[in-house]
Amino acid sequence: MAFELPALPYAQDALAPTISAETMEYHYGKHHQTYVDNLNKAVAGTADENASLEDIIMKAEGPLFNNAAQVWNHTFFWNSLSPNGGGQPTGAIADRIAADFGGYDAFRAQITEAGLTQFGSGWAWLVEKDGKLAIMKTPNADLPMKHGAKALFTIDVWEHAYYIDYRNARAKFIEVVLDNLINWDFVNANLAS
């Protein structure tokens, strides 16, 4: 069973102007596709050829892990965003953010700090671990499931996520994602699962 590039949950230009169609063309169409292609090459003819993406991630290391995890991370990232997103949380996640962070402003400050202080390439995550919400950051392809945490939302802070639109202004990218794109419905669905 070959892995395929998952369809975006919206049109490739739907996140503009926050994330341009040109960025999506490269980030989704080239980077994400390359991870899928490399994963398929790595598992062809092996015992992992028919394994689930999550099973591969949990047992793999090195290049196989990197490509499998980046397929998962990017798919999760696209679903973390919505052209109608951003702003204050709604639903059950709003109550949990108030309880576990003391409010939206504290959550926002912590996820922004995680994204800004992730040295080099990586991810800033809202996760649930041990029954509490938390912020974590991971380098490169690393992801919460490898650390016993459930991912609820992520921001990709690899330069290819924002360089076309924001050059080296990672802080601005994080700000506009939170203001305009965070998909609270997706966050709530992950929280409930």
Res 189 pLDDT > 90: yes
Res 104 pLDDT > 90: yes
What Cα–Cα distance (Å) separates residue 92 from each residue in 80, 126, 143, 192? 16, 14, 24, 9
What average pLDDT does this structure show over 112-120?
A: 98
pLDDT band at 65 (very low <50, low <70, confident <90, very high): very high
Kindly compute the dihedral angle of the four CA atoms of residues 151, 157, 161, 167, in this order, to the nearest 10 degrees: 160
Domains and CATH numbers, the chain: 21-80 (1.10.287.990), 92-192 (3.55.40.20)
The residue type of 71 is V
**Separation of alpha carbons 181 and 193, rounded Å:** 22
161: tokens are: 């996520």
pLDDT at 1: 72
**Separation of alpha carbons 33 and 94, rounded Å:** 34
Question: What percentage of the chain has pLDDT greater than the value 70?
Answer: 100
pLDDT at 49: 95
2-53 pLDDT per residue, tens? 999 999 999 999 999 999 999 999 999 999 999 999 999 999 999 999 999 9
User: pTM of the predicted model, to two decimals?
Assistant: 0.98
What Cα–Cα distance (Å) separates residue 10 from each residue in 16, 19, 21, 186? 11, 13, 12, 13
Distance of CA 160 to the CA centre of its chain: 13
Res 181 pLDDT > 80: yes
